[in-house]
A and B are shown apart, each in its own frame.
Chain A
């Protein structure tokens, strides 16, 4: 009976009651703000906030024709791909290495997981302190090698810095999942491959990596969403979207336009577009990428 899909509740209302907390949280923290954003996105306020006017899709039209918006779209794509790839590649490398350690495995793992406990803004500050051109310890070293390090002026260097900070923060999380993924691969498979004449590199690419596919796919979704949304704190702390608009991601622009420049209509339109992008992206990942994934 344990496998039966039908559960009988003693009371008709009990299942709804049990679902209520989750539904309430989703409603209050997602549907309500989301509907507010949608509503705001079709309104325009006068500079003093005294009157609001329905403008249809004018805000969207304005946003999509804005060169700055298209720039931030491009910045986001570069930033997200770089962050997700770097964070996942490093995490996989570390996980494979940590898996080989025989003595003190637990210590290595614990140390590698720690950075995840650091808040994004703090992580950003750490990197800022290390790489700030005027006072950063590592920036000083870089400059002493003759490299002209100045992320406050050089937009490529600013991007490198935020990508580094954002991926550093996410490596621990990915590491944790890759370690678990590696542990779930039966040792006998690796041994069978060794007997079958596959060297270490070949074993990794033909056996281990394909078997990690479910983990990798899950992390791809999580990391993309992370790079899109959760990196606000890092960008805010490190570059504030600068220099110019070189590191202004979509999320950062929403904040900038709405809360700094107080263009609420445009900001709301942007967040609605962002919502659509993320929904579409997740759907695409599940529809097309997941097909290539074998679960056990």
Chain B
């Protein structure tokens, strides 16, 4: 158990390609930190730098206030779960889990005890004598977890461990990983490109884009107060609706020229982007004016019923948006709806995409 601290960590490939551009993250003992972002955002590179599989161009990585920059992967006391599990195909499940302990010269009966304990926790006891190719995807995933937990390392590293599983199993394993991590209380870093996984697992969520950290915080804080349009559109499904506007003295002007009342919003005249979550729109039947809200006209393009809720796709001021309504929607294509965004649910971003 340990804390993990990254200070100004940079990674440059060759002489020009900067994959990670100065990242600062501090993770408390026992916390689960999720790095999320689109592919190529540097999250895996960052994880591999923590693991010691990738050299650190600049900055420091500290585990328990010890700088580990120049230590090999084995000396950092970390364990990693790989995307393809990286199980040794010629070894039985037992030996896969025991390998790291044997390499560290642990006594045989201690190894046996640890492997059996881990197998118990992960329900692998029946499978200890099998080889990886005789296991299902979910079982392999457990073995990979087992190999990490027998070592009781200071830090767990997960590199998209669930992306090779089908959707149902992924949901199950997500819960199991979370419970296991809580139970063992080991500081963990988890990389994923799946925002749902990120939201549900994280104690601290780090949203990355283009090698920089866009936002760090508790998942729901990030959901409620995204720091940029990138974060707003990456976290949440369906993503936040973003509508660019300009302002004049009397109010806001949408892309297609529609004027709407500003309702006290301080929008820079140079332009801005207003954002609102699909579930935060109110479809108004009557003519009552919502106090302190933006009232907009939505032209329906299509409706997707998914059971408990429906997604109404449409256009507001020339921008495509989506509205989530409970249950079934009676809207038809080409309908016009009057929608209201309560003022407190409105997000405002400047021209550069930063939150105002």
Would you call B89 and A294 a contact (CB within 8 A)?
Answer: yes
A189 to B104, Cβ gap below 8 A? no
Q: Is the CB of A192 within 8 A of B82?
A: yes
Contacts of A192 in B (CB 8 A): 80, 82, 86, 88, 147
Task: Verify B99–A196 contact, CB threshold 8 A.
Answer: yes
What is the size category of the interface that chain B forms with chain A?
20 to 34
- Name the contact of B104 in the complex, choosing from A188, A194, A197 (C-beta under 8 A): A197
* Main SS at interface, chain B: loop
Could you tell me the distance in whole angstroms from the C-beta of B216 to the nearest C-beta in chain A? 26
Q: Is the CB of B73 within 8 A of A211?
A: no
Query: Do the beta carbons of A195 and B100 come within 8 Å of each other?
Result: yes
B88 touches A207 (CB 8 A): yes
Q: What's the count of A-B pairs with C-beta under 8 Å?
A: 59
Does B330 make an interface contact (CB < 8 A)? no
Q: Contact residue range for chain A?
A: 10 to 19
Q: Choose among B82, B99, B133 the residue that contacts A296 (Cβ–Cβ < 8 A).
A: B133
Contact B51 A195 (CB under 8 A): yes
A136 interfacial contact with B, CB 8 Å: no
Give Cα distance in the complex from A206 to B133, angstroms.
18
Q: Mark A180-193, 1 if CB is under 8 A from B, else 0.
A: 00000010110111
In the complex, which of the residues A188, A196, A197 has the most CB atoms of chain B within 10 Å of its own CB atom?
A196
B281 within 8 A of A: no
Interface presence of B136 (CB below 8 A):
no
Are A195 and B79 in contact, CB atoms less than 8 angstroms apart? Answer: yes
**How close is B321's CB to chain A, nearest CB, in angstroms?**
42
CB–CB B89/A211 < 8 A: yes
**Residues 253-296 of chain A, each 1 if its beta carbon lies under 8 Å from chain B, else 0:** 00000000000000000000000000000000000000000101
The distance from the CB of A296 to the nearest CB of chain B, in whole angstroms, is: 6
| Pairs A–B under 8 Å by Cβ, sample size 6 | A188-B82, A188-B86, A192-B86, A194-B74, A195-B52, A195-B100
Complex interface residues of chain B between 151 and 210 (CB less than 8 A to chain A): 151
Q: Which residues of B contact A198 (CB under 8 A)?
A: 74, 99, 103
A197-B84 contact given A191-B73, A296-B89, CB 8 Å threshold: no
Q: Write the nearest CB–CB distance from A188 to chain B, whole angstroms.
A: 4
A residues 159-196 with Cβ under 8 Å of B? 186, 188-189, 191-196
Cβ of B53 and Cβ of A194 under 8 Å apart? yes
Of all chain B residues, the one with the shortest Cβ separation from A211 is: B90
- A-chain residues with CB within 8 Å of residue B100 when the two chains form the complex: 195-197
Contact indicator A195/B103 (Cβ below 8 Å): no
B53, B88, B133, B151: which contacts A191 (Cβ < 8 A)?
B53
Is B74 within 8 A of A196, CB to CB?
yes
Question: What sequence of 0s and 1s flags, for each residue 132-152 of chain B, a beta carbon within 8 Å of any chain A beta carbon?
Answer: 010000000000000100010
B-chain residues with CB within 8 Å of residue A296 when the two chains form the complex = 89, 133
Q: Pick the contact of A188 from B78, B79, B84, B99 — CB < 8 Å?
A: B84
Instruction: Note all chain A residues with C-beta closer than 8 A to B80.
Output: 191-192, 195
Residues on A close to B: CB < 8 A? Answer: 186, 188-189, 191-198, 202, 206-207, 210-211, 213, 294, 296
Contact of B86 among A186, A197, A202, A213 (CB under 8 A): A186
Report chain A residues within 8 Å CB of B40: none
Please report the C-alpha to C-alpha distance between residue A122 and residue B90 in the assembled complex, in whole angstroms.
42
A193 & B99 in contact (Cβ 8 Å cutoff): yes
- CB contacts under 8 Å to A, within B51-85, are 51-53, 72-74, 78-80, 82-84
Interface centre among B52, B78, B100, B104 (most CB of A within 10 A): B100
B86 and A294 contacting across the interface, CB-CB below 8 Å:
no
Kindly identify which residue among B52, B84, B90, B103 contacts A196, using a CB–CB cutoff of 8 Å: B103
Cα(A186)–Cα(B89), bound, Å: 11
Whole-angstrom distance from the CB of B238 to the nearest CB of chain A? 34
Neighbouring B residues of A210 by C-beta, 8 Å: 90
A294–B90 alpha-carbon span in the complex (Å): 6
Measured between alpha carbons, how far is A196 from B95 in the docked complex, in Å? 12
CB <8 Å contact, A194 and B89: no
Known: A202-B103, A296-B133. A195 touches B78 (CB 8 A): yes
Task: Report yes or no: B88 in contact with A189, Cβ–Cβ below 8 A.
Answer: yes
How far, in angstroms, from A188 to B86 measured CA to CA in the complex? Answer: 6
Bound Cα distance A186, B88 (Å): 10
User: Taking the nearest CB of chain B, how far is it from the CB of A266, in angstroms?
Assistant: 48
Pairwise interchain contact B73-A195, C-beta atoms closer than 8 A: yes
- A196–B102 alpha-carbon span in the complex (Å): 9
CA distance A197 to B150 in the complex (A): 13
| Most chain A CB within a 10 A radius of its CB, from B52, B80, B90 | B90
Cα separation A210 to B313 with both chains bound (whole Å): 56
With A196-B100, A198-B99, A296-B133 already in contact, 5 other A-B pairs whose C-beta atoms are closer than 8 Å: A189-B88, A192-B147, A193-B88, A213-B90, A294-B89
Sorted from nearest, which 8 A-B pairs have the closest CB atoms? A196-B100, A197-B103, A188-B86, A192-B86, A197-B74, A210-B90, A195-B73, A294-B90
Which residues of chain A have C-beta atoms less than 8 A from B86's C-beta? 186, 188-189, 191-192
Residue on A nearest B75 in the bound complex, by CB: A197
Chain B contacts for A211, CB-based, 8 A: 89-90
Docked CA distance A192–B78 (Å):
11
A197–B84 alpha-carbon span in the complex (Å): 20
Chain A nearest CB from B140 CB (Å) reads 13
CA distance A153 to B72 in the complex (A): 56
CB contacts (< 8 Å) of B73 on chain A: these are 191, 194-195
Cα distance, A189 to B89, chains bound together (Å): 9
Closest to A213 in B: B90
Q: How far is the CA of A294 from the CA of B134 in the complex (A)?
A: 13
